[in-house]
Structure 1
Amino acid sequence: MAKRIQFSAHGGPEVLEYVDFTPREPAAGEVQIENRAVGINFIDTYVRSGLYPVQTFPSGLGTEAAGVVAKVGAGVSGFQVGDRVVYAQAGLGAYSAVHNVVADRVAHLPEAISFEQGAASFLKDLTVYYLLRETYEITSGETFLFHAAAGGVGLIACQWAKALGAKLIGTVGSDDKAALARQAGAWATINYRSENIAQRVLELTDGQKVPVVYDSVGKDTWEASLDSLQRRGLMVSFGNASGPVTGVNLGILNQKGSLYVTRPSLFGYVTNRAELDKASSELFSLIASGAIKVDVSANQIFGLSEAQKAHRALESRQTHGSCLLIPGR
């Protein structure tokens, strides 16, 4: 028997249940992982709430964790019992003491990176990788806008941009979060509660605006994002923290300068072992070199049984950086 979080209906954090379950043996092509630290991501709240509905209940939750290989299924090569590993693209169920994961979705975790660092950053690192390196390749000296710069993904993006020699303008919701983003490497910040985003972008870029905007906020920042783009600029909408963008009039893209819009996801960019190895090699190098630092505040580390509390904290917008669940705590 082991412990996991499951839910039997969509809803608020109260639907999350801490239960016993019997892990099944890993199938062919899978490894069974004893999770030492589990990553909490905003997308988990979309799944729990039903914005991204599941079809079968009860359902597990979460796709990211770091731990140790406990069992290896038939046909798996490259992994053995005792290996330190991390994953971010598993089937739902990572909020668990034990989870079976397709081996091609698992990466070896270097000794220099702790389980907590791996679980706190792998999905966010991969997200920043596909955004800044694949969706639109940011180059040295380039200026761009990144919403929610003090969030888990945002703080990594700030550091990655600095490592690339680029100028990230980050939106934040408070002066404290502005300080966090600048400390992480943001070139400039905009407090969206007290400043006009598009106007400040215009001022910061001497009237040039930016070639690309990365927006995980959604409905609340859609117009401001479009208004911050140069002619033929790219709007990268990769999240819905304030609600989904709906009822879009495509004519507005023409009116605002023949703009482009894309709605990417990690599963469209990291789809096989070769792509995972390429991405993880680059991001692990940045972490090992110190260019990207992954620290989790003690008050954002929860026991697995405290998943409801963790989700309330995440949705309150009072957290910064990453949150973790620790099995057995």
Structure 2
Amino acid sequence: MAHAVRFYETGGPDVLTWEKATVGDPGPGEVRIRHSAVGLNFADTYFRSGLYPVRLPDGIGVEAAGVVEAVGEGVTQVAEGDRVTYTGSPLGAYSTERVMPASHLIKLPDGIGCETAAAMTMRGLTSAYLLRRIHPLKAGDTVLLHAAAGGVGLIVSQWAKLLGIRVIGTVSSEEKAELARAHGCEHVIHYRREGVAERVRELTDGAGVPVVFDSVGKDTFAGSLASLKRRGLLVCFGTASGPVPPINAMQLAVNGSLFVTRPALADYIADPAERDALAGELFGHVASGRIKIEINQRYSLENAAQAHRDLEAGRTTGSSVFTL
């Protein structure tokens, strides 16, 4: 019998329920996939809390990896027995198996295991578009990266170092600082005891950085803006502390003609060719060992509520997965 995590109302982690599920045969353009591992992402908490509205009841989770068990009419990009990964809608990855559109699947190369894929598909593709698509960064540039010891942070730090880009990372503890340094951060700022913008100015001889990657949101927004050099770009790609406050356009002008963007991964992988190109680059780095994927927390799907509590409390580092 298949099982899935669902929620019938928005709220805290306790709204998540573990229940039996009926999984039918795939229709045209669909596949049935049996999951081997499921990714835990901060975005999952946005759907659960209601920050990202969905029609209820619904499943939860946007990332998993596993094996194709059946294909529907018209499916040609994957076949039964293929190992695949995916990230994105529709919700429902927190499940042992499911039926879903085949167009969302990415075939896994032999060198990438399903658990590794579930830990990195969303984080890795996010890192890929941040570094390879959103701004023309070049060797010698310096960037500020918030949550440097998180899942995206550890991948971005390693990838940036491969590209010759210096990373100044922010962390909340010495344990996380050591982890960030070990994965390529050249400088680490303890944001609970140091002024982020002031320290960034010190490290850049007063100039500031051309790009800030900010997945925290409300609590870091002002400091992120203050860390930018003239005509710098603030990339707000997450809201772990709450939504980004309203932006005053004149504030951007008087602080150096700054730019702000709020990108979504979906818009950088909507084109299958671009998605496959980014995935290919990511998989190549991981399979070769140039980028290591740190899975530091493992949970059972039955314990999804506890996984969400740990994630929201900042008790996790690197990537987290549900094992099946």
Whether TM-score is above 0.5 comes out as yes
Normalising by the residue count of structure 1, what TM-score does the alignment of the two structures yield?
0.96
CA distance in structure 2 between the aligned counterparts of 1:96 and 1:35, rounded to whole angstroms = 7
Normalising by the residue count of structure 2, what TM-score does the alignment of the two structures yield?
0.98
Query: Within the alignment, does 1:232 sit opposite 2:225 as a pair?
Result: no
Deviation at 1:82, TM superposition (A): 0.7
1:146-165 mapped onto 2 (5 Å cutoff): 146-165=145-164
AA aligned opposite 2:48: R
Amino-acid identity (%): 52
Deviation at 1:78, TM superposition (A): 2.4
Equivalent residue for 1:310? 307
Query: Within the alignment, does 1:98 sit opposite 2:112 as a pair?
Result: no
Is this contact kept in 1: 2:168–2:186, CA < 8 A? yes
CA distance in structure 2 between the aligned counterparts of 1:170 and 1:54, rounded to whole angstroms = 33
CA distance in structure 2 between the aligned counterparts of 1:192 and 1:131, rounded to whole angstroms = 22
CA distance in structure 2 between the aligned counterparts of 1:100 and 1:129, rounded to whole angstroms = 28
1:250-289 mapped onto 2 (5 Å cutoff): 250-289=249-288
Is this contact kept in 2: 1:104–1:272, CA < 8 A? no
Q: Deviations over 1:249-304 (max 9, x none)?
A: 2211011111011110111111032112111110000101111101312xx11111
Is this contact kept in 2: 1:218–1:242, CA < 8 A? yes
SS of 1:219's partner is coil
Q: What's the Cα RMSD here?
A: 1.0
CA distance in structure 2 between the aligned counterparts of 1:127 and 1:78, rounded to whole angstroms = 23
SS of 2:295's partner is coil
Deviation at 1:230, TM superposition (A): 0.7
Deviation at 1:32, TM superposition (A): 1.4
Is this contact kept in 1: 2:147–2:170, CA < 8 A? yes
CA distance in structure 1 between the aligned counterparts of 2:294 and 2:225, rounded to whole angstroms = 33
Is this contact kept in 1: 2:268–2:275, CA < 8 A? no
Equivalent residue for 1:2? 2
Deviation at 1:110, TM superposition (A): 1.4
Deviation at 1:25, TM superposition (A): 1.9
CA distance in structure 2 between the aligned counterparts of 1:216 and 1:114, rounded to whole angstroms = 27
AA aligned opposite 1:159: Q
Structure 1: where are the runs of 5+ without partners?
none
Change (3 A) 1:221 1:116: same
Structure 2: where are the runs of 5+ without partners?
none
Q: Deviations over 1:208-232 (max 9, x none)?
A: 2111111110011111001110111
Is this contact kept in 2: 1:105–1:276, CA < 8 A? no
Query: Within the alignment, does 1:26 sit opposite 2:23 as a pair?
Result: no
Deviation at 1:169, TM superposition (A): 0.7
Deviates more, 1:309-318 or 1:100-109: 100-109
Deviation at 1:58, TM superposition (A): 1.5
Query: Within the alignment, does 1:89 sit opposite 2:91 as a pair?
Result: no
SS of 2:37's partner is strand
CA distance in structure 1 between the aligned counterparts of 2:186 and 2:123, rounded to whole angstroms = 20
Is this contact kept in 1: 2:218–2:242, CA < 8 A? yes
Q: Deviations over 1:184-203 (max 9, x none)?
A: 11111111001100011001
CA distance in structure 1 between the aligned counterparts of 2:73 and 2:174, rounded to whole angstroms = 53
SS of 2:197's partner is helix
Deviation at 1:248, TM superposition (A): 2.3
Deviation at 1:206, TM superposition (A): 1.2
CA distance in structure 1 between the aligned counterparts of 2:320 and 2:28, rounded to whole angstroms = 32
CA distance in structure 1 between the aligned counterparts of 2:10 and 2:147, rounded to whole angstroms = 26
Query: Within the alignment, does 1:63 sit opposite 2:66 as a pair?
Result: no
CA distance in structure 2 between the aligned counterparts of 1:217 and 1:286, rounded to whole angstroms = 26
CA distance in structure 2 between the aligned counterparts of 1:185 and 1:307, rounded to whole angstroms = 31
Deviation at 1:27, TM superposition (A): 2.3
1:1-329 mapped onto 2 (5 Å cutoff): 1-55=1-55, 57-297=56-296, 300-327=297-324
Is this contact kept in 2: 1:218–1:243, CA < 8 A? yes
- The runs of 4+ residues in structure 1 deviating greater than 4 Å are none
CA distance in structure 2 between the aligned counterparts of 1:262 and 1:170, rounded to whole angstroms = 20
CA distance in structure 1 between the aligned counterparts of 2:211 and 2:246, rounded to whole angstroms = 22
SS of 2:94's partner is coil
Change (3 A) 1:165 1:104: same
Deviation at 1:105, TM superposition (A): 1.4
CA distance in structure 1 between the aligned counterparts of 2:30 and 2:157, rounded to whole angstroms = 35
Q: Deviations over 1:39-93 (max 9, x none)?
A: 00000001000111112x2110001001000111111112111111111124100
Is this contact kept in 1: 2:210–2:233, CA < 8 A? yes
SS of 1:268's partner is helix
SS of 2:158's partner is helix
| Count of aligned pairs between the two proteins | 324
